[in-house]
């Protein structure tokens, strides 16, 4: 399968925390040109692309299939500016503080993008005690230094401005590595599916590029209410902890072993007959897959499943190493498997 991986690198490099997905939405909207019968943006900022299905044959039912991949990434908002110009931040999404030491960040104001450094308060190693060095700082102790005076910062920065971690995506062997692969890799897959879906799909398809997933599956909740799907398919990443220091039974998925078909996470139990249908389809089409049970975490699929009177739903999960860091890594063959399986279903 020929995937244009440069698009995934570009998506990864865009900044868009929950509620500030504008740059990602504009990129996706451009990419959707000619790929959908209708594209609209709703009040939550979700981008919804519609492709009409073909006329059903005798005995067939044309479903309303909602796909959903979220545009937002974990990041921060400015919550306080002190008299010296240091910024305190509000986390948007789940962070491990061990991944945040001395990180370059960008603070996006109304007028400009300001470079900064995110670091915890306290003494450097040269003058800290052994007890201090053993502690992992809490998120509330981190601040952003913009290298400007207090008055200069207060003139340019407002409470609520977006703060994102800086990292350029790159190819590393058979992996694509960068920030926000959660969930830009699935945004990329969803775009590729629409691009390669040359003929009318079997069912009506609503491809949703959702907002605010990282803070409670919010965009998908309202989109599902409006779309009224009869089938829901979330597209997201999942843990691939197939690395040193972790037992095999905790790996969840393994890189390069195929797309994950979710059985369970803390936001949903996938509809069993739909899981079986996708497993049978993957085996019939020769698409590599693995079944996924994730003890903690959720996806847009959970929001779709609970919409209105309930929707049969599953999630296709892309195995990803180092989730919720700036070096999230996905395998090219897993991307290909995800696109191939979803195409086979929609065709």
Whether residue 232 lies inside any domain: the answer is yes
Catalytic (active-site) positions: 213
Q: Kindly write down the DSSP assignment for every residue of 34-45, as one continuous string.
A: TT-SEEEE-TT-
The CA dihedral of 282, 340, 181, 262, to the nearest 10 degrees, is -20
Q: Say if residue 283 is in the same domain as residue 234.
A: yes
Residues 330 and 184 both lie in one domain: yes
Instruction: Please check whether residues 12 and 149 belong to one and the same domain.
Output: no
The total number of structural domains in the chain stands at 2
83 falls within a domain: yes
Same structural domain, 148 and 282: no
Domain termination residue (choose one: 113, 143, 165): 165
For the segment 167-183, the average pLDDT, to the nearest whole number, is 97
Query: Per-residue pLDDT for 339 more than 90?
Result: yes
- The answer on pLDDT for 126 being more than 70 is no
Domain identity same for 221 and 205 = yes
Residue 303 lies in a domain: yes
Give yes or no: residues 298 and 151 share one domain: no
Residue range 235-261, pLDDT digits in tens:
999 999 999 999 999 999 999 999 999
Q: What is the pLDDT of residues 89-115, one digit of tens each?
A: 999 998 888 888 889 999 999 999 999
State mean pLDDT over 180-202. 95
Asked if residue 173 is part of any domain, the answer here is no
Q: Which pLDDT tens digit goes with each residue over 54-64?
A: 988 887 888 99
CATH of the domain at 307: 3.40.630.10
pLDDT of residue 124: 67
Phi-psi region of 13 (alpha: psi -120 to 50; beta: other; left: phi over 0): alpha
Instruction: Determine the average pLDDT of the residues in 336-342.
Output: 98
pLDDT value of position 123:
60
Judged by average pLDDT, the poorest of 108-117, 122-131, 141-150, 179-188 is 122-131
Residues 95 and 58 in one domain: no
Share the mean pLDDT of the chain: 94
CA–CA separation, 219 and 232 (whole Å): 14
* Greatest CA separation for the chain: 78
| pLDDT score of 125 more than 90 | no
Q: Are residues 146 and 237 in the same domain?
A: no
**Rounded-to-10 torsion of CA 266, 230, 291, 341:** -140
Q: Model confidence at 135, in pLDDT bands (50, 70, 90)?
A: confident
Structure-token match 């399986």, residue found: 341
Query: Is pTM beyond 0.85 here?
Result: yes
> Do 216 and 324 reside in the same domain of the chain?
yes
Integer Cα distance of 320 and 186 in angstroms:
11
> Does 58 lie in the same domain as 120?
no
Backbone phi and psi for residue 92, each to the nearest 5 degrees, phi listed first: -120, 95
88 and 133 both lie in a single domain: yes
Residue 122 binned pLDDT confidence (cut-offs 50, 70, 90): low
- Determine whether 279 is exposed, middle or buried from the number of CB atoms within 10 Å of its CB (0-12, 13-18, 19+): middle
The CATH number assigned to the domain holding 113 equals 2.40.30.40
Per-residue pLDDT tens digits for 306-330: 999 999 999 999 999 999 999 999 9
Burial category of 264 from C-beta neighbours within 10 Å (exposed 0-12, middle 13-18, buried 19 and up): middle
Residue 14 belongs to domain spanning: 5-73+179-346
Helix (H) or strand (E) holding 324, with range, is none
Helix (H) or strand (E) holding 308: none
Residues 83 and 147 in one domain: yes
**Residue-level pLDDT at 88:** 96
pLDDT at 275: 98
Quick one: 138 exposed, middle or buried, by C-beta within 10 A (0-12, 13-18, 19+)? exposed
């Amino acid at each position: 399968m020929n995937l244009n991986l440069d698009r995934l690198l570009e998506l990864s490099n865009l900044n868009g925390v929950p509620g500030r997905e504008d740059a990602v939405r504009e990129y996706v909207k451009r990419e959707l040109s000619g790929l959908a019968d209708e594209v609209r943006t709703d009040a939550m900022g979700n981008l919804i692309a519609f492709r009409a299905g073909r006329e059903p044959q005798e005995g067939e039912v044309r479903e309303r299939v909602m796909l959903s991949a979220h545009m937002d990434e974990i990041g921060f908002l400015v919550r306080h500016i002190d008299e010296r110009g240091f910024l305190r931040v509000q986390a948007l999404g789940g962070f491990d503080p061990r991944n945040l030491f001395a990180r370059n960040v960008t603070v996006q104001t109304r007028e400009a993008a300001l470079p900064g450094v995110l670091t915890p308060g306290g003494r450097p190693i040269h003058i800290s005690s052994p007890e201090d060095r053993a502690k992992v700082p809490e998120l509330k102790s981190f601040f952003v230094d913009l290298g400007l005076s207090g008055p200069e910062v207060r003139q340019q920065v407002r409470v609520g401005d977006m703060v994102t971690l800086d990292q350029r995506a790159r190819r590393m062997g058979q992996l694509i590595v960068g920030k926000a692969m959660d969930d830009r890799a699935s945004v990329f897959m969803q775009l590729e599916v629409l691009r390669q879906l040359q003929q009318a799909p079997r069912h009506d398809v609503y491809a949703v590029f959702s907002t605010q997933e990282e803070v409670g599956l919010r965009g998908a909740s309202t989109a599902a209410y409006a779309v009224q799907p009869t089938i829901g398919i979330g597209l997201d990443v999942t843990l691939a902890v197939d690395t040193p220091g972790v037992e095999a039974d905790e790996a969840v998925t393994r890189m390069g072993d195929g797309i994950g078909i979710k059985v369970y996470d803390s936001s949903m139990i996938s509809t069993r007959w739909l899981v079986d249908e996708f497993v049978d389809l993957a085996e019939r089409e020769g698409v590599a897959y693995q079944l996924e049970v994730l003890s903690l975490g959720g996806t847009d699929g959970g929001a779709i499943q609970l919409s209105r009177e309930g929707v049969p739903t599953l999630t296709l999960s892309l195995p990803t190493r180092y989730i919720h860091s700036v070096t999230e890594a996905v395998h090219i063959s897993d991307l290909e498997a995800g696109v191939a399986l979803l195409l086979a279903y929609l065709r």
